[in-house]
Structure 1
Amino acid sequence: MRLDDERESTNIDDERGSGGGGGRAPLKIGIGGILLALGALYFGVDPKIVFSLLEGSASSGNQSAVVAPQQSVQGPDTQKQFIARILGSTEDVWTSYFQQMGRTYHEPRLVLFSGGTQSACGYAQTSVGPFYCPADHKVYLDLAFFQELKNRLGAGGDFARAYVVAHEVGHHVQNELGIMAQLEKQNGGMSERGATGASVRTELQADCFAGVWAKRANDAKSILQSGDVQQGLNAASAVGDDRLERQGQGYVVPDSFTHGTSAQRVNWFSRGLQTGDIRQCDTFSAPAL
């Protein structure tokens, strides 16, 4: 990715090394069932599958598998700079888009943490993965997740990381548009989990919004380079419910889906990337996902 022309967002809270980690149990999220899926699942799967993926070669009693590596105290913090520039790009794109709609975009904050930290949606841990908390309008991210994405899920590269951030910001866009509030109000209008449930439709729309950001950012500043799009598609595919369930438990249970299959995530991300139009991201009205 070419990010030389991108400014670094100032909406980052760096809590790494603050001592927020530890073994406390996660708090329950009491802001609606659909938000539980957004805040308590590893970017799209049942936590039981996540823990089996994170264990790897470590023993069941070894907690080091879910502890983020220490940040080097020497040299520039290139990962933070990268995240800051991606976040800044999303701010510029969505501010402009909302202005075109006659609305005001309120920028989210992004919290970098290591090991664990407290959010308004409960206790965030490395094993939970990145998530957006609508209660405090913040994205939570442990940079160790990117190593998991690359090494365990086979989706490395700059645009893969950018996709993760843009997806979580996509949830903030949903919050800004009132989509989350509407879903919570409807509560029961459609089942939360399952292959066609509210959670899957919510996550696929966030994928589409991530594609919209990429399209508009690239149109404005030509940020994408050869191979970047494929990296993003690889990342979308890597976190599909079906793929993660096969890796974690050896079989697929569609009724447990929360984020959509690999093919669906690639399809909706691609739709946003091709059109740059949020009107093409209405997963809730789509008869087929």
Structure 2
Amino acid sequence: MRWKGRRRSDYVQDRRSQQPAMGSVGGSSGLLRLIPALLGTKSGRTILTVGVLVIVGSRMMGIDLLPLLLGGGGTSAVQSSGAGSSATTTEAEDELAEFAAVILADTEDTWGQIFAAEGRQYPPPTLVLFRGQVHSACGTASSAVGPFYCPADQQLYLDLDFFDELSRRFGAPGDFAQAYVIAHEVGHHIQTVLGISQRVRDQSRGLAQAQVNALSVRQELQADCFAGIWGHYASAQGDFLESGDFEEAITAASAIGDDTLQRNAGGRVVPDSFTHGTSEQRMRWFRTGFEQGSLNACDTFASRG
């Protein structure tokens, strides 16, 4: 991507210098004590496999799951020191922060244009850069959750270390792969603004877990498609994307499919437990948004797959 020198978003909060002080995280230590026992039984190993899927899968979700998984009580699980303490940043980290601000700015331009065509004003989300742990209106989260969007405060949260993990652990290097991650979370913001997220929550009430998961898959695939719409507009600029950028995003989408994550975690593939969609689905819906650039093309809820 030719991103250097482009406009940066004004909607970025840099909290990397704040290092929250750890409080008592009893749920976490309790979970760790259970792991040896779980490994000793077949059912326990199945529980751990599903747990790993949920944790890893939540890296691309707009929901804060970590406090629930650890048994914590939302923001009470980790206490912040308030003012925080100073922490140095490297030149490479600062360049990634600039990159994230540029990508966010371009999503603002894209969605601002789309909303304006419908006679609406686009309310941009704020991107919060953090390190280690962060407080949000959805609770307190560790960087282990990965990038997430909180609908309660309409903010995106990103620990820049995730980009290294995306390349090293998930085998999805490249700046457009990183941009896809940001655009996906912005996709969740679009769903919140359009009322889609609330409708999903309303429809989920009283359903069996497998049905709730199926709705989650549709929502995540739509966020992938919305990310593709941004890619469509970015590509149309002519001087922004480079050869191979699209393939970087497709590689990232494939790497974080539920079926791929389950196989890599050493477990069997359990479709009813999917919350984000298969690798094939995630690639296909990103491609759909990228090629068609239309909100109407992203109705994953009406699609069969």
Tell me the TM-score normalized by structure 1. 0.81
Structure 1 pair 22–226 and aligned structure 2 pair: CA distance change class (3 A):
farther
Larger Rg: 1 or 2? 2
Cα separation, 2, equivalents of 1:183 and 1:26: 32
Matched residue, 1:77: 94
Whole-angstrom CA distance in 1 between matches of 2:225 and 2:263: 24
Q: Give unmatched runs, 5+ long, in structure 2.
A: 28-53, 70-86
Contact 2:217 2:276 in 1 (8 A): yes
Q: Deviations over 1:183-240 (max 9, x none)?
A: 2223348656469711000000000000000101221353110111100000000110
Cα distance in 2 between the residues matched to 1:192 and 1:112: 33
* C-alpha deviation, 1:24, in angstroms: 5.5
**Post-superposition shift, 1:71?**
5.2
Separation in 1, partners of 2:209, 2:25: 24
Residue 20 of structure 2 is aligned to residue 3 of structure 1: no
Please tell me the root mean square deviation across aligned C-alpha atoms, in Å.
2.7
Decide which of 271, 280, 288 is 2:297's aligned counterpart: 280
Describe the shift of the 1:195–1:153 C-alpha distance in structure 2 as closer, same or farther (beyond 3 A): farther
Look up the match of 1:126.
143
Which of these residues, 227, 238, 241, is aligned with residue 258 of structure 2? 241
- Cα distance in 1 between the residues matched to 2:125 and 2:24: 26
Local SS of the residue matching 1:102:
coil
Q: Distance in 2 between matches of 1:84 and 1:129?
A: 18
Is residue 2:207 matched to residue 1:187?
no
> Counterpart in 1 of 2:170?
153
Residues 135-192 of structure 1, C-alpha deviations (whole Å, 9 max, x = no match): 0000011111111111011001000000000000000011111111222223348656
1:134-145 equivalence runs, <5 A: 134-145=151-162
Asked if structure 1 preserves the Cα contact closer than 8 Å seen for 2:258 and 2:274, the reply is yes
Which among 232, 236, 240 is matched to residue 249 of structure 2?
232
Match of 1:166 among 183, 198, 208: 183
Q: What is the count of residue pairs matched by the alignment? A: 257
Give the counterpart letter for 1:114 in structure 2.
R
1:149 maps to a residue whose letter is L
**Structure 2: which amino acid aligns with 1:78?**
E
Aligned to 2:46: none
**Where in structure 2 are the equivalents of 1:252-271 lying within 5 Å?**
252-271=269-288
Distance 1:12 1:138, change over 3 A: same
Give the distance between the partners of 1:191 and 1:224, measured in 2 at CA: 43
Tell me the residue number matched to 2:125.
108
Q: Structure 2 vs 1, CA of residues 21 and 85 (structure 1 numbering), >3 Å: closer, same or farther?
A: farther
Q: Does 1:212 align with 2:256?
A: no
Relative to structure 1, is the Cα distance of residues 87 and 265 closer, same or farther in structure 2, using a 3 angstrom cutoff? same
User: In the alignment, which residue of structure 1 is the partner of 2:84?
Assistant: none
Q: Take 1:108 and 1:251, find their aligned partners in 2: how far apart are those partners?
A: 37
Q: Return the alpha-carbon distance in structure 2 between the equivalents of residues 283 and 113 of structure 1.
A: 32
Counterpart residue number, 2:195: 178
Q: In 2, Cα distance between the equivalents of 1:255 and 1:196?
A: 7
Deviation at 1:249, TM superposition (A): 3.0
